[in-house]
Structure 1
Amino acid sequence: MLTPPRTLLRRDGDIYTLERALHRRGFAVVAGADEAGRGACAGPLVAAAAVLGTGRRGEIPELADSKLLTPAARERVYDAVVARALAYRVVVVEAAEVDARGLHVCNVAALRRALAGLPVPPQYVLTDGFRVDGAGVPGLAVWKGDQVAACVAAASVLAKVTRDRIMVGLDGTYPGYGFAVHKGYVTPEHREALTRLGPCAEHRFSYVNVAAAARAARPVGVEPPTGAGTPGGTVGVARRARRRSTPSVGEDVAMEGGGR
């Protein structure tokens, strides 16, 4: 059996170069997947998958890694991806599920669910940083994939904008933490709010800084609830908050998507 020739990519190519090469090799439907919120200590983890069209039809103005875009540009690109992508899917995993199952397990499961939920089945999958097994088609983990593969960049924008909108909404539900500004990531302002207020129900209690804040906020003599623990014991929920029960990521806590 002959091995097909290797595909060579130009170093000076644009963000669509990798997908064009895959299209030339016969993979007409290439999906990209990425997530937002891995490094946050509050709020959900959001994964997304996207399939762009071939040729000029698949090119999205301003498309780039979501972290390199301004908030206004991300919103414009988000709208363009939703309007022009062949297919897309977004999966939201609540903070309680991250605590219960672990960040990496939830991350891989959410990416897999986003890819599996695409209304147009992919023929090849590109992911950012690490491979996601179980897609049923060939795939490649691309270093800094959201900067070099258009479909991964599109997925990163979908995930980032969806998550940012959720965090802005949570800012109204849990005022004082600054969720609308730092989006649940660890900043000096967020650390100060955690110390002053204790964690709320949307914090990830398996994270060391949140667990420490929860212990400090617990009234003397009050036992913490079980099930939100860290190795060696459980941690408490802040006095003003009780975490709501959350279904497994396998049931899709929240999912949205579309196809063309």
Structure 2
Amino acid sequence: MTVPACEDCNKWLNDNFERPAHAAITKTLDECDVPLTYAETTALARWLGKTSLLLQHQEAKGIVPGDEDRRQRDCWEVATRLVRELRRGSELPDDLSIWMARADDTDGNAELSTSPRIYLPTTSGTGGLGGESVATSFGIGMRSGAMLCVQVAYHPLVDIAHPFEGSRFAIRLWPDPPAKFNIRNLPRLSTVGRRQFNSVFVRGAGHITLPLPDERVTCRPDVDPLMDFWTHWGRSMPVDEQSPETGSDHE
């Protein structure tokens, strides 16, 4: 995968993301039985966040060879803006969440009893805040043959109750990286578990206009976020904000 970048930008990526995360990436992919420190966990999270934004960048090449239509369909429009903000000195936003799991199609046995979905809405808040919530998943091979499963979601004005995090089958690395992290403490997902993890998020769950400053939406497994939000307010959902039929394919 490549994204057009000048020499200065390549140096910035190396100095701010690649080099600081090198030790943490090595320990994680080698499945070392040594906990990562807070600094290492933070560096790993920032590297995964940067990598996901570049993967979703509109100018990224080599993601799906020979399928440019799919490339344009799958990219995030917001990724370009977020990368620019990083380049200007900003940090990864708090509304960008990064989860990590470990899968092994041969020896893994961790999986959920069902295949839950989280439906991601578009939000509009005061002061021009909000936007479309999007998510992506990708894997990185580990030395043992297992797979490091990474899931990243950008969810402006939305809080997410991730079912794999709640079941301790995955860990959220961003925001608020854990003080310590040992990859061996994560159970190995089975083939079914890996597929469940990768298919948690469904895009396009309608539009929510938040009536108050600092108001947020909570997305829970298998719950329509629009209906849940307006039920919380004790009001009927506006016709123009009704979501598409639950279960429609927006992945």
User: Which structure shows the bigger proportion of residues in strand conformation?
Assistant: 2
TM-score range normalised by the length of the shorter chain: under 0.3
Alignment TM-score, normalising by the size of structure 1: 0.26
Q: Which has the larger radius of gyration?
A: 1
* TM-score, normalised via structure 2 length: 0.27
